[in-house]
A = this chain, B = another copy of it.
Amino acid sequence: MSLNLPATEDVFSAAQRIAPFVHETPLMTSERLSDLAGAELYFKCEHLQKVGAFKARGAVNAVLQLPPEQKLVATHSSGNHGAALAWAAAASGRESIVVMPENAPAVKKAAVAGYGAKVVECGPTLANREAALADVVSETGAHVVPPYDDPRIIAGQGTVGVELVRQCRERGFVPDLVVAPIGGGGLLAGTGLALRGLLPECKLIGAEPAGAADAHLSLRSGVRRTDVVSNTIADGLRTTIGERNFAVVRDTVQDIVTVSEDGIRDAMHLIWSRMKQLVEPSAAVSLAGVFEHASRFRGKKVVLVLSGGNVDMPAPA
């Protein structure tokens, strides 16, 4: 089987294509967190991206390549990709339908609808979602934009890597390592392509919950694992690594480290309390990785991708 894999040039093209639509997100520092880690930490703030997650990049990169007459897009998503596609569709004058499991976080369902999508609810399994999406497509002729296993999505997410390399250079330093969370693998694969082209001496590390370690196990065994049951607070990372994503990750990533659930919670709370940045559990997985594998990062310049900020916050008392 031949996979249509994106290349570094596709990431560069994506960066130009999407620039008018997305934010250049800031690279923040925190003395306290750097001290705790014993490393020089830089946080790439994709929770401040449009729709509150890096997913806006891939979604708008995909939608902008559609023919003008394709006016309806659809996907299934438990969260940020759905919001991203709804936003990207609206930004390019299109309509969208998003299939979501009934048990998705309320804040994410509200966001998707708020960006103008029609939300179609379905059961909690992947099979439920795929069946519901197939129904939508057959009824409406919508073009499906998948959440991660798609060359346009991978290239779009990779623009995070292009941006962070430029920001590091503007500040006069070269990062030793970049750490990004991995769920489906769009962000990690795309960032890998960007770094390979721009900064091959910089190592890329994926961070994954031990409770959803399919990518870690796949990389170790060399074969994509689709049989791993996921159980983690990091709801954005419960998905299985995609085929294209795995093919790219295998070639561009140095390692995928796993982190504990307590480590994710502690890291999230530190980002909240020390940096005053509201990130979602999935975003905290990068920092958890730095703490739980400290010896690999000590003394290094490390860029951590804070992937998203869409978390249900309790109403203030």
Q: Which residues of chain A have a CB within 8 Å of any CB of chain B?
A: 26, 47-48, 52, 107, 233, 265, 268-269, 272-273, 275-279, 281, 309, 313-317
Contact = CB atoms under 8 A, between A and B. Distances in A.
A269 B315 contact: yes
12 contacts: A52-B276, A233-B316, A233-B317, A265-B316, A269-B313, A269-B316, A272-B313, A276-B279, A276-B309, A277-B277, A281-B316, A314-B314
Most buried by B among A26, A107, A273: A273
Contacts of A26: 26
A31 to B, nearest CB: 9
Given A233-B316, A269-B313, 9 more contacts: A26-B26, A269-B316, A273-B313, A276-B278, A276-B279, A276-B309, A277-B278, A278-B278, A281-B316
A48 B317 CA distance: 23
Contact of A107 (B107, B233, B273, B317): B273
A309 B271 CA distance: 12
A275 B25 CA distance: 12
B48 A276 contact: yes
Nearest to A315: B269
Given A269-B315, A316-B269, A276 B47 contact: yes
Contacts of A309: 276
A47 B275 CA distance: 9
A316 B278 contact: no
Given A26-B26, A316-B233, A278 B269 contact: no
A265 B107 CA distance: 17
A275 B26 CA distance: 13
